[in-house]
């Protein structure tokens, strides 16, 4: 390896900086110069006038300070052009011109697909799973997931304290794209009474039945955790018709949201003062937990060792609690398994 490159791509996730720092420390240890590529694959397309805005030499001094910081020092972005071969060819050219003989890609499944394509074009790549969503079936954890869950758990605990004080139900929306893992783990870790996830189709009316059951059992402060992707799995519901018929203003065609679900449930549940909170970017922008940082540190080192030893087209993950690697193609074929038993248990009250 004359040089290696590292990039972060897709949604940022806590621990990305720790992984970059580990890649830098490992590269320094093995005597391989390291280039940081800015804004995911975009940096390889050389969109900026000043080359330093696309590619930057990373030395230890630059990265030692970032290990425990949230966000990503290298910046991140999604890069739709990268689906097209002509743009990937530009990236390959950039890598060759810069004498970068291997690439560490930190991101989710879309980023891994980009890495797989680069491998097919002769650029050795190794992927590190960086996404809060935990939606990669081959690995028990993705970088940032543990942090995101802990942010949600802390938020829900605080919300439940104030909900309890006022005897009010509360809806909490968490992230995760099409994956309900953040929602489910948050629900089980906080004793929440209801969870709604994209893996299981649901009806607003059924949630109202569950909430009414809690109210009847003298629990006026139930917490409903909903994953952001779950609205897509909601049975058709005439939000406009229902709200306007019940004296609440609503725009025609307005989509369901945590706020609107609270309004609907209030009207379906005897006027209970249902409130809502969307946790949002605080999940992604948090300082990484020790678990995420430690995984990042080990994964960053393994990525550099693999490239150094001529092993590429691999992604790193965690299986049976141990850091491992497997071919990208194989990893992308794993389906994420949602824990339906826990989901049913949370919703069984
Ligand atoms: O995939 C990571 C993620 O944070 C998802 O949880 C979320 O749906 C998505 O990215 C949001 O992306 P953006 O911040 O670009 O809207």
Question: Does residue 343 belong to any structural domain of this protein?
Answer: no
Kindly state whether residues 154 and 85 are assigned to the same domain: no
Closest CA to 173 of 196, 190, 191: 196
- Round to whole Å and give the CA distance between 303 and 325: 9
Q: What is the pLDDT of residue 47?
A: 87
Kindly state whether residues 165 and 245 are assigned to the same domain: yes
Question: Does residue 337 belong to any structural domain of this protein?
Answer: no
Kindly state whether residues 214 and 313 are assigned to the same domain: no
Kindly state whether residues 118 and 28 are assigned to the same domain: yes
Q: How many Å lie between the centroid of ligand 1 and the Cα of residue 17? A: 18
Question: Does residue 182 belong to any structural domain of this protein?
Answer: yes
Kindly state whether residues 224 and 307 are assigned to the same domain: no
Q: How many Å lie between the centroid of ligand 1 and the Cα of residue 97? A: 33
Nearest CA to ligand 1 atom 8: 177
Element (H, E) at 226: strand 223-227
Question: Does residue 225 belong to any structural domain of this protein?
Answer: yes
Nearest CA to ligand 1 atom 6: 176
User: Strand, helix or coil at 4?
Assistant: strand
Kindly state whether residues 110 and 184 are assigned to the same domain: no
Q: What is the pLDDT of residue 98?
A: 96
Ligand 1 binding pocket mutation candidate from 135, 147, 175 (most atoms within 8 A of CB): 175
**CA 198, 201, 207, 208: dihedral to nearest 10 degrees?**
130
Kindly state whether residues 134 and 9 are assigned to the same domain: yes
Contact 182, 195 (CB under 8 A): no
158-161: list long-range contacts, CB under 8 Å, 24+ apart.
Answer: 159/223, 159/277, 160/190, 160/191, 160/192, 160/221, 160/223
Question: Does residue 347 belong to any structural domain of this protein?
Answer: no
User: Strand, helix or coil at 92?
Assistant: helix
CATH number of 195's domain: 3.40.50.460
Nearest CA to ligand 1 atom 13: 11
Element (H, E) at 164: helix 145-166
Q: Which domain holds residue 199?
A: 147-284
Query: What is the number of domains present in the chain?
Result: 2
Q: What is the pLDDT of residue 37?
A: 98
Q: What is the mean pLDDT of residues 174-192?
A: 98
Read off the DSSP letter of residue 128: E
Q: What is the pLDDT of residue 52?
A: 86
Annotation says 133 is catalytic: yes
Question: Does residue 179 belong to any structural domain of this protein?
Answer: yes
Q: What is the pLDDT of residue 207?
A: 98
Check if 190 has its Cβ closer than 6 Å to any atom of ligand 1.
no
Check if 152 has its Cβ closer than 6 Å to any atom of ligand 1.
no
Kindly state whether residues 113 and 205 are assigned to the same domain: no
Check if 131 has its Cβ closer than 6 Å to any atom of ligand 1.
yes
pLDDT at residue 69 is higher than 90: yes
Nearest CA to ligand 1 atom 7: 177
Kindly state whether residues 137 and 95 are assigned to the same domain: yes
Check if 132 has its Cβ closer than 6 Å to any atom of ligand 1.
yes
Kindly name the residue from 133, 146, 181, 292 that is annotated as catalytic. 133
Go through the chain and tell me how many residues it has.
349
Helices 181-190 and 145-166 pack at an angle, to 10 degrees, of 50
Q: What is the pLDDT of residue 42?
A: 96
Question: Does residue 103 belong to any structural domain of this protein?
Answer: yes
Kindly state whether residues 15 and 140 are assigned to the same domain: yes
- Round to whole Å and give the CA distance between 230 and 84: 31
Task: Give the pLDDT confidence of 261-287 residue by residue, as tens digits.
Answer: 999 999 999 999 999 999 999 999 999
Kindly state whether residues 224 and 119 are assigned to the same domain: no
Question: Does residue 327 belong to any structural domain of this protein?
Answer: yes
Task: Give the pLDDT confidence of 126-182 residue by residue, as tens digits.
Answer: 999 999 999 999 999 999 999 999 999 999 999 999 999 999 999 999 999 999 999
Check if 129 has its Cβ closer than 6 Å to any atom of ligand 1.
no
Counting atoms of ligand 1 from 1, which one is nearest the CA of 182? 6
pTM here is: 0.96
**CA 175, 289, 345, 349: dihedral to nearest 10 degrees?**
-80
Q: How many Å lie between the centroid of ligand 1 and the Cα of residue 13? A: 10
CATH number of 303's domain: 3.40.50.450
Q: How many Å lie between the centroid of ligand 1 and the Cα of residue 73? A: 18
The CA distances from residue 23 to 92, 250, 284, 297, 308, in Å, are 21, 51, 21, 8, 12
Helices 109-120 and 85-97 pack at an angle, to 10 degrees, of 70
Check if 179 has its Cβ closer than 6 Å to any atom of ligand 1.
no
Q: How many Å lie between the centroid of ligand 1 and the Cα of residue 306? A: 29
Kindly state whether residues 183 and 124 are assigned to the same domain: no
Check if 175 has its Cβ closer than 6 Å to any atom of ligand 1.
yes
> What's the mean per-residue pLDDT of the chain?
97
Counting atoms of ligand 1 from 1, which one is nearest the CA of 228? 8
Check if 284 has its Cβ closer than 6 Å to any atom of ligand 1.
yes
């Amino acid at each position: 390896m004359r040089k290696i490159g590292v990039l972060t791509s897709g949604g940022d996730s806590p621990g990305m900086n720790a992984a970059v720092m580990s890649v830098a420390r490992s590269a320094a240890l093995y005597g391989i110069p390291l280039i940081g590529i800015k804004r995911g694959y975009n940096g390889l397309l050389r969109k900026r006038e000043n080359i330093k805005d696309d590619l930057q030499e990373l030395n230890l001094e630059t990265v030692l300070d970032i290990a425990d910081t949230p966000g990503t020092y290298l910046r991140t972005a999604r890069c739709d052009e990268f689906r097209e071969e002509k743009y990937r060819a530009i990236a390959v050219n950039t890598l060759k011109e810069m004498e970068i003989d291997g690439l560490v890609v930190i991101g989710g499944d879309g980023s891994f697909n980009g890495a797989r394509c680069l491998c097919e074009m002769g650029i050795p790549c190794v992927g590190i799973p960086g996404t809060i969503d935990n939606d990669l079936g081959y690995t028990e954890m993705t970088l940032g997931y543990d942090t995101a869950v802990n942010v949600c758990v802390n938020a829900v605990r605080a919300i439940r304290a104030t909900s309890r004080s006022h005897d009010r139900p509360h809806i909490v929306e968490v992230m995760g794209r099409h994956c309900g893992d953040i929602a489910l783990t948050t629900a089980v870790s906080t004793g929440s009474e209801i969870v709604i996830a994209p893996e299981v189709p649901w009806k607003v009316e059924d949630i109202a039945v569950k909430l009414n059951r809690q109210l009847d059992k003298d629990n006026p402060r139930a917490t409903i955790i909903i994953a952001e992707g779950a609205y897509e799995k909601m049975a058709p519901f005439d939000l406009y018709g229902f709200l306007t018929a019940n004296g609440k203003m609503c725009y025609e065609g307005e989509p369901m949201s945590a706020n609107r679900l609270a309004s609907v449930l209030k009207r379906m549940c005897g006027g209970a003062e249902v409130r809502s909170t969307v946790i949002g970017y605080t999940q992604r922008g948090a300082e990484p937990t020790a678990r995420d940082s430690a995984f990042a540190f080990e994964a960053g080192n393994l990525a550099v060792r693999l490239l150094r030893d001529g092993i590429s087209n691999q992604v790193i993950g965690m299986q049976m609690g141990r850091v491992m690697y497997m071919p990208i193609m194989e990893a992308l074929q794993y389906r994420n398994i949602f824990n339906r038993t826990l989901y049913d248990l949370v919703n069984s009250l």
